[in-house]
Amino acid sequence: MSKTKGAPVPRRPLHFIGIALALVIIGAYFLLPFVVQPERGPSTVAILTGSKKANELGLFKTGLEVIPLAGLGILLLGIWNVIAPAASRAISLLMSVAGLLIAVYYINFFRDYAADEATFINNMDIAFWIMLVAGVLAVLQILIPRGLPDERYRIMKLFGNQESVILFGLLLLIFIIGIANPRFLQERNISDNLQGNAYIAVAALGMTMVIVTGNIDISVGSLVGLLAVISGRLVVAGLPAPLAWLAPLIVGAGFGAFIGFLVAYLRIPSIVVTLGMLSIIKGILIIWAGGERVRDMPPEYFLSQMRPLGIPMPIIIMVVLTIVVVLWMRYSATGRAFYALGGNAEAARLSGLSQKRLLMTVFILNGIFVGIASVMYSTQFNIIQATPPPALELSVITASVVGGVSILGGTGTALGSTLATLLLNFIRSAMIFINVSPFWLKAVQGLLILATVLADLIRRRRQRL
């Protein structure tokens, strides 16, 4: 983030006008009651939109979606305006376009409804008037005088890293899909989506540490499968549940130590070791388990199904571990050493850090995180499958790298990987909610992953300028 030329322009209240207008429009749309018509009952626009059969959803056809979409557009432009008033002319132009959209919508609205319902305008709710006025103001604001260009505020910092880009993308996604299909916003769906991939997020925490040191672990998928079966079989054999939860952590740490030993002391590249371990662990699992699913676990075993304080356990584990890892990697000596190791192994060596011990540590930690992930996985259902979860390693690695962890090591944070896991899961479910043709689901997912990565690159490039 280099300094830009020109004197900083003070942030004026006027810069926030777009945000204010947008909040008015969106607030009126969602919060204020819609037309009071007895046969429809007191209802808000959002519910009216949502009650349509989802598969009849024709985007932009009915018009009701236009207002919040345009409002959203104004909101984004408003935020942009605050961040980078340099481009405020262009922004206000675009903002006006959004306002115009609202106005056009009103014209259509009156044309359609006035015909068969003459009394409609009389019944028109205050919410509609407010939205109309805000829309017109959005058109007019192009006339409002602007500050000088070349101004960057500290708020830019908020969008100065991959984590916030992903968080922003996540919120945007939830918002847009929520408008297209309000059921997406129901509490159960949000909570299901948050906890669904929590185990991937936890595995990705370990992976993040490994990748930060410039290594990789491809064997996580097989290991999760094996550890889950170990844990399940132990509890079925009569071991108390807490011990059965602990066992995978210990075995996982053991595998991690083995991999770490091969990488650190025998100097075999981690990709080779873990590629080999992927096959070895998978083979062991299949030979040992013989396809027999584990079932009849005692009820107290199902850690992931517990809801202390009404919050699903996976979410708690994921959030707590993410915070711990973020802090630990930022403030502990070892955590910082990981970055040093990945950034420049030679420098790390010269600075007196024992490279071998660090590598051992990171792989053992990774093994423990894989162990935790496997417990979250095995306690999720009443049945534990005796096969490794398919392509789990790809999901975990994708989460880490989309989260901003550079595969060359040295940069990236745990927060990013957790947010990326959530984003990937929300994308999966969102595509279903807006009826993307099932054949194209994967293509759209791939495209969105690419878009996230590109957004990050564009951000970095702008920062460098």
What part of residues 361-380 is at the interface with other proteins (CB under 8 A)?
377, 380
Give least dist CB 327 to other proteins, A.
Answer: 26
Residue 217's SS3 state is coil
Binds other proteins by CB under 8 A, chosen from 1, 36, 59, 114: 59
Q: Which two tokens stand for residue 435?
A: 């009826």
Does residue 61 belong to the site contacting other proteins (CB under 8 A)?
no
Question: Are the C-beta atoms of 329 and 338 separated by less than 8 Å?
Answer: yes
Does residue 279 belong to the site contacting other proteins (CB under 8 A)?
yes
Stretch that binds other proteins, among 69-77, 235-243, 288-296, 414-422 (CB under 8 A): 288-296
Binding to other proteins (CB under 8 A) within 409-428 occurs at: 425, 428
Does residue 280 belong to the site contacting other proteins (CB under 8 A)?
yes
Stretch that binds other proteins, among 19-27, 71-79, 318-326, 437-445 (CB under 8 A): 437-445
Rounded (5°) CA angle 389-383-427: 45
Q: Which residues make beta-bridge pairs with 294? A: 384
Question: Are the C-beta atoms of 369 and 253 separated by less than 8 Å?
Answer: no
Q: Which two tokens stand for residue 415?
A: 């927060």
- Listed in sequence order, the residues at least 6 apart from 41 whose beta carbon sits closer than 8 Å to its beta carbon are none
Question: Are the C-beta atoms of 445 and 428 separated by less than 8 Å?
Answer: yes
Give least dist CB 128 to other proteins, A.
Answer: 28
Q: Residue 57, exposed/middle/buried by CB under 10 A (0-12, 13-18, 19+)?
A: middle
Binding to other proteins (CB under 8 A) within 232-271 occurs at: 262, 266-269, 271
Binding to other proteins (CB under 8 A) within 393-412 occurs at: 394, 397-398, 401-402, 406-408
Stretch that binds other proteins, among 120-128, 163-171, 247-255, 441-449 (CB under 8 A): 441-449
Give least dist CB 24 to other proteins, A.
Answer: 26
Does residue 148 belong to the site contacting other proteins (CB under 8 A)?
no
Q: How many residues does the chain have?
A: 465
Cα–Cα distances in Å, from 331 out to 214, 327, 407, 412? 20, 6, 22, 15
Q: How far is CA 462 from the centre of its chain?
A: 23
Give least dist CB 420 to other proteins, A.
Answer: 11
Give least dist CB 253 to other proteins, A.
Answer: 20
Binds other proteins by CB under 8 A, chosen from 47, 54, 130, 156: 54
Does residue 443 belong to the site contacting other proteins (CB under 8 A)?
yes
Amino acid symbol at 239: L
Count residues contacting other proteins (CB under 8 A)?
91
Nearer to other proteins by Cβ, of 31 and 90: the residue is 90
Rounded (5°) CA angle 14-65-120: 95
Query: Which value, in Å, is the radius of gyration of the alpha carbons in the chain?
Result: 26
Does residue 434 belong to the site contacting other proteins (CB under 8 A)?
yes
Q: Residue 7, exposed/middle/buried by CB under 10 A (0-12, 13-18, 19+)?
A: exposed
Question: Are the C-beta atoms of 67 and 102 separated by less than 8 Å?
Answer: yes
Binds other proteins by CB under 8 A, chosen from 78, 99, 169, 389: 389
Question: Are the C-beta atoms of 44 and 30 separated by less than 8 Å?
Answer: yes
Stretch that binds other proteins, among 15-23, 26-34, 366-374, 391-399 (CB under 8 A): 391-399
Does residue 204 belong to the site contacting other proteins (CB under 8 A)?
no
Rounded CA-CA distance 16/139 in Å is 15
Give least dist CB 320 to other proteins, A.
Answer: 21
Does residue 109 belong to the site contacting other proteins (CB under 8 A)?
no
State the residue for tokens 């945007």: 172
Nearer to other proteins by Cβ, of 96 and 109: the residue is 96
Give least dist CB 201 to other proteins, A.
Answer: 13
Give least dist CB 247 to other proteins, A.
Answer: 20
Q: How far is CA 141 from the centre of its chain?
A: 34
Give least dist CB 443 to other proteins, A.
Answer: 3
Binding to other proteins (CB under 8 A) within 339-358 occurs at: none
Q: Which two tokens stand for residue 92?
A: 């206000």
Give least dist CB 53 to other proteins, A.
Answer: 8
Rounded CA-CA distance 102/136 in Å is 8
